[in-house]
Structure 1
């Protein structure tokens, strides 16, 4: 395989990653609006737009900040362009969570608002990771060298964990799981919290097979983000596991 995958358009080279990143956003949004029409929503349209705005701004900032912290040795060499171009989905989720909670406090919304986003997020992540995989080692979604049977040459002649493919597989499993529990009698907001816990658990574990730079106590910025999520949702975890 010749990574990264690209094609020519009007004499210029275009990476497939850009195509799939755009498709992920477009299909995710369209799926959200499709599900919204079929799902009773206790949040009115204006407040829902404010919440979406909070999520997008928070994700924009969070994805860049956590990505910057992924390379602590280069923090002092950051330029605005480098800061803006580097991003991570995990940081986007963390920043989006902060953005939503802040906006909800400002507009007085006290009910959970995330369940409706779970399936669109999973689908968008799957599509986006196709683009990440197409970049090989040019995108930081690859693993360390390995002799495991899934090992692939991602463009540098070394056999590595194809982490992007692992995440795509995980998204398929999450999709099946959330479809299976679609009719379960869960408290509003539980599906989103469950998604966040499962996704960040995956990200925490998969960091160990990626060439990450530790931020503190030999853990990466994404692993610290995961630990924050685990603490943030500890009451949910205790309740869902029925721990007394």
Structure 2
């Protein structure tokens, strides 16, 4: 089946990209899943605290996605005619995640809530990211989420004349595999609160660091892009967190 990129749908007589529609569907379903998991686990978070944390995460993610997205190509800031439009249309999930986490931590300090809240967000995040990446894939080369040209067996035509790495599909595959691995280890082992979220973030940013070597990028320093430098910072930070908590990790019937 030949896909015509970018994929659009007709709404009220207008042709609209399917990507933003899928992003909002992903966010909605993720929030519903989070509410279900929160109720099932009987979290001590009040509705007001939970809403505050979600808002903090969304604001941080919105700002971070655009800051890191804009800094992917710093020189372009001075070349474009409308800097605000360039900033507003520059996005990356790496910045969204990094600053979303910062937004959560700042919000928790403001509302004086000290317990970890990340574990409940792992599967909602994975769900939202998978649905969002489907939208990225269906946009093809008309958005900066495609791979470099390749002769690899998985190479695909994404809207131009080249076979390219379908990096969004690679990411979807990674997220699905991680979800199963995360479920398996959570059944076999006991972790301190917040560990599963830390484990997810560490693995995702490690995956993205290497994935971006097969994406078009502008190197900032040491042949690394802004996104990769952000990934390295997050990898280092979460390696330290996990190392500190290593003695609290157990197999169900045996200390790890």
TM-score by length of 1: 0.94
Paired residue for 1:215? 220
Paired residue for 1:234? 239
State the distance in 2 between where 1:35 and 1:241 align: 26
Paired residue for 1:153? 157
Paired residue for 2:28? 26
> Matched residue of 1:135: which SS?
helix
Show the 5 A alignment for 1:162-181: 162-181=166-185
State the distance in 1 between where 2:17 and 2:136 align: 10
User: Conserved in 2, the CA contact under 8 Å of 1:151 and 1:160?
Assistant: yes
User: Conserved in 2, the CA contact under 8 Å of 1:69 and 1:215?
Assistant: no
1:123 to 2:127 alignment: yes
- Aligned counterpart for 1:109 among listed residues 110, 113, 116: 113
> Matched residue of 1:182: which SS?
helix
Paired residue for 2:86? 82
Paired residue for 1:187? 192
State the distance in 2 between where 1:94 and 1:19 align: 23
Q: After TM superposition, where is structure 1 displaced by more than 6 Å over at least 4 residues in a row?
A: none
Give the unaligned 5+ runs of structure 1: none
> Matched residue of 1:233: which SS?
helix
Describe the superposition over 1:132-166 as per-residue Cα deviations: whole angstroms up to 9, x where unpaired: 00000012111001110000010111000000110
State the distance in 1 between where 2:9 and 2:242 align: 46
1:189 Cα deviation from its structure 2 partner: 0.3
State the distance in 1 between where 2:8 and 2:234 align: 36
State the distance in 1 between where 2:8 and 2:107 align: 39
Aligned CA-pair RMSD: 1.6
1:240 Cα deviation from its structure 2 partner: 6.3
> Matched residue of 1:142: which SS?
coil
User: Conserved in 1, the CA contact under 8 Å of 2:201 and 2:238?
Assistant: no
1:89 Cα deviation from its structure 2 partner: 0.8
User: Conserved in 2, the CA contact under 8 Å of 1:52 and 1:100?
Assistant: yes
State the distance in 1 between where 2:235 and 2:30 align: 26
Describe the superposition over 1:193-241 as per-residue Cα deviations: whole angstroms up to 9, x where unpaired: 0110000001100010001111222211111111111222232342566
1:68 to 2:70 alignment: yes
- Aligned counterpart for 1:140 among listed residues 128, 139, 144: 144
1:41 Cα deviation from its structure 2 partner: 1.2
Matched length: 242
Give the unaligned 5+ runs of structure 2: 248-256
TM-score by length of 2: 0.89
